[in-house]
Each structure stands twice: as C-alpha cells, then as structure tokens.
Amino acid sequence: MAEKEIVIYGNPVLREVSEPVDEINQEVKDLVSEMAGTLKKAKGLGLSAVQVGVLKRVFIVDLSAVDINETLRVFINPEILETNGEVEIEEGCLSFPGVYQKIVRPEKVKLRATDLNGQVFEMEAASFIARAALHENDHLEGKLFIDYFSSMAKSLIKGKLRKLKAAC
C-alpha cells in the first residue's frame, strides 16, 4: 500500500480550506488508498487529505485498532448536519506528534458525505467515530485541534509547538 508524508504543524497548508471533490475518479481513489496506507503506518484513527498536503474535502476514519467491528470509512465532501451533547476527551493529531490534550467536542454528530462509489449517505455517530469525524472535518476547514485548547494549555505546549514549527 502506497503512503504519503504527513504534514506537520507549522506547514501553512493545514490552515487552508479544502476544495470540494467534483468527481470520484481514479485520482481520488488513489488518494484514499495512499491515505489508508499512511494512516495504517502512523497507527492513527483518522486522516484528512489536507494532512497529506492535498486540499480536497476527503477524510478517512479507521477505528479497527480500538473496535474489531470497525473498518475503514471514507468521507468525501462531508457536511455536518447536526451535533448534540458535549463530552471532554483527550485527543491527539498526527500533524502534532506527541501533543495530547483534553478537549470538549459534541458527543454526537449527524453528517452527510459521499463514499468511494459515489453514493451519498447520512450517518449518525457517537463516541470515537463522532469525535474522529468532527476532528477530521475541522481539518478540511483549516481548523486545528489546538484551536480548542485553553490559553493555559496552549502556553504549556508552546515549546513543543515551536519545535514542530521549526522542523517544518
């Protein structure tokens, strides 16, 4: 399985808004395949196209490492339709190696997206899948999980962020 390089914090592409996918062609399928390989190698749970330097509205979530009933899920041109509840859980991000922080996100999400076969679907999710989908969807909007950190939490990781930026 081919892989791509994960974009690390400090790269300005992470703050850009991704463009919609116009057509699900071989290029998009290859991108998803490369993202899946990248995610597996990184041992992550989710990955957006922007995290591999591609400004397209695509993200994947694979929770099979934490739930044997889960498989790779592909979300193309996702739209968050509604959210409910609120829960605080520790979160990390492949673009921020070694940075973890408890953040508050909605507990449940309803979203609409297109799969690799071009089929539009709606999904209601809670728990890890909701958190992962919201996290990855934020990436498509140029929003990062550090944007949810309190000012105190940001000041505590300032040195780590500076090192990540310098390595970029």
- Tracing tokens 């991108």 back to the chain, one arrives at 31
Residue of 5, 27, 91, 136 marked active site: 136
Rounded Cα distance between 113 and 77, Å, is 6
Rounded Cα distance between 143 and 137, Å, is 9
Whether 136 sits among the annotated catalytic residues: the reply is yes
Closest listed residue to residue 153, CA positions, set 101, 105, 104 = 101
Q: Positive or negative CA dihedral for 118, 121, 126, 130?
A: positive
Q: Which residues are catalytic?
A: 136
